[in-house]
Amino acid sequence: MDGNEIRDLGAGANQTGVRAHNERLILTLIQRHGAMAGSDIAKRTELSAQTVSNILRKLETEGFLVRGEPQRGRVGKPSVPMALDPDGALSFGLKIGRRSADLVVMNLHGQVLGQSQLTYRHPMPAQIFGYLETGMAGLSAALTPRQQERLCGIGIAAPLEIWSWPEPFAAPGDMAVWKGLDFAEEVARFSALPLFTVNDATAAARAEHVFGRGRQYRDYAYFFLGSFIGGGIVLNSTVIEGAQRNAGALGSLRVEGPDGQMQSLLDTASIYLLEAAIEEAGGDTAALWRQPQDWSGFAAHLEPWIARSAAAIAQAARAACAVIDFEAVLIDGAVPPAVRDELAQRVAAELAALDMRGILPPRVAPGSVGFNARVMGAASAPIHAQFLMT
């Protein structure tokens, strides 16, 4: 396969009563491949030309598509490529993290039109939802009237069991207020927009799948290095969440640590370990998260952290591929691009050195979305749930 090839999504259905499915399929096809003529869409989806023409006309009328300039070929009528209208749908995305929350408003092209951040020692509901309310008002005020009208929802990405984080992020007892908290009820106090929630690592996987290198693969495992490492899985071009939203909880896989003892991947290959080493040496750990990221001052701690993390991720990747036949493993995180690329290279080398009998090794590649993956994945949740294939 060409390294830059974007995989197709399968065929459509011509039967009566499945237009909603076909509309999603066509919108997703254009989102993944860019502007396309109706004839190309018909070939890729195996839908009739008339069916495609009717759907394109409907989606254009509804404001999701715009016409491009006619492309004249050697024979026949000129073809007219149809593209997503970036303002066809917009959404808010909130990422709740262990030390900060990020809020964005994003359009159908995945362009972040506005962004803000809140930092804290421990996240508390009143603070977080107050920030969401005021932040949405501020970001919305900067949009055009049409963009405001096309806002379709709010996505929130947060870790599971936010109230029971382990050291070094252990929080006071009042964090238990998160347990059983109804996010939809809290948001409904100040917004009528529909709410969609997702695990933060799954959100990052969705962002990579929709806007990044994940479009090149049909089945892959995705590792995202945040304060704690997490992940996601994509099967048949679909991000899998699972009945309990545990799918792709790769950080829970057991690996052999530097001391030879078995431990969770999240205790071997997470940024909090690098942060702890820098803090112990008296360094400025805030610089790890400051934008734009510059980790050049952490060289003494960075090399051993990369080496340890790569070895552990390679073991986890082998375990994952022994269960599901992934064609690729993607590595991304809240790290500078150069660090991400080095990690991916090291993981590939470590994987090649492991006992892989009975398993065809996957391709290991760096992701491409980076620091904003979780909040962009949150923002894409309302759009995908309502308009695109998941």
> Per mean pLDDT, which range of 58-62, 220-224, 296-300 is the poorest?
296-300
Residues 80 and 102 placed together within one structural domain of the fold: no
- Within a domain: 10: no
Residue 353 covered by a domain: yes
Of 331, 336, 332, nearest to 288 by C-alpha is: 336
Compute the distance between CA of residue 98 and CA of residue 286 in angstroms, rounded to an integer.
13
Q: Out of 166-170, 298-302, 364-368, pick the least confident.
A: 166-170
Domain end, chosen from 50, 84, 118, is at 84
Confidence band for 15, pLDDT divided at 50, 70 and 90: very low
Q: Which helix (H) or strand (E) holds 89?
A: none
Which is more confident, 310 or 289? Answer: 310
327: Cβ–Cβ under 8 A, 6 or more apart, which residues? 217, 218, 219, 220, 362, 363
| Domain identity same for 288 and 345 | yes
Predicted confidence band of residue 59 (pLDDT cuts 50, 70, 90): very high
118 in the same domain as 55: no
Residue 159: what pLDDT?
87
Q: Is residue 14 part of a domain?
A: no
Nearest-angstrom CA–CA distance, 348 and 357: 16
Q: How far apart (Å, rounded) are the C-alpha atoms in residues 373 and 203?
A: 7
Q: What is the CATH number of the domain that holds 184?
A: 3.30.420.40
Does residue 166 register a pLDDT over 70?
A: no
Q: What is the per-residue pLDDT across 197-214, written as a single tens digit (0 to 9) for each?
A: 999 999 999 999 999 999
What pLDDT is attached to residue 5?
Answer: 67
Q: What DSSP string describes 161-173?
A: TGGG--TTS---G
Instruction: Please give the residue that has the higher pLDDT: either 244 or 226.
Output: 226
113 & 181 share domain: yes
The tally of domains found in the chain comes to: 3
The neighbour count for residue 259, using CB atoms within 10 Å, is 6
Q: How confident is the model at residue 18 (pLDDT cuts 50, 70, 90)?
A: very low
Mind listing the pLDDT tens digit for each residue in 86-115? 999 999 999 998 888 999 999 999 999 999
Check whether residue 362 and residue 281 sit in a common domain.
Answer: yes
Q: Which residues, in sequence order, are CB contacts of 383 under 8 Å at separation 6+?
A: 89, 91, 108, 152, 153
| Res 172: pLDDT | 61
Give the per-residue pLDDT at 381: 94
Same-domain pairing of 246 and 280: yes
Assigned domain for 11 exists: no
* β-strand partners of 90: 107, 151
* Domain extent at residue 101: 90-199+375-387
Same domain, residue pair 238 and 363: yes
| pLDDT of amino acid 220 | 98
Give the integer Cα–Cα distance in Å for 76 and 69. Answer: 16
pLDDT in tens, 350-376: 999 999 999 999 999 999 999 999 999
One-letter amino acid identity for 127?
Q
Residue 13 has pLDDT above 60, yes or no: no
- The reply to whether 318 falls in a domain is yes
Same domain, 271 and 163: no
Bigger pLDDT: 2 or 191? 191
CA angle 125, 129, 133 (to 5 degrees): 170
Q: Are residues 314 and 381 in the same domain?
A: no
In a domain? residue 63 = yes
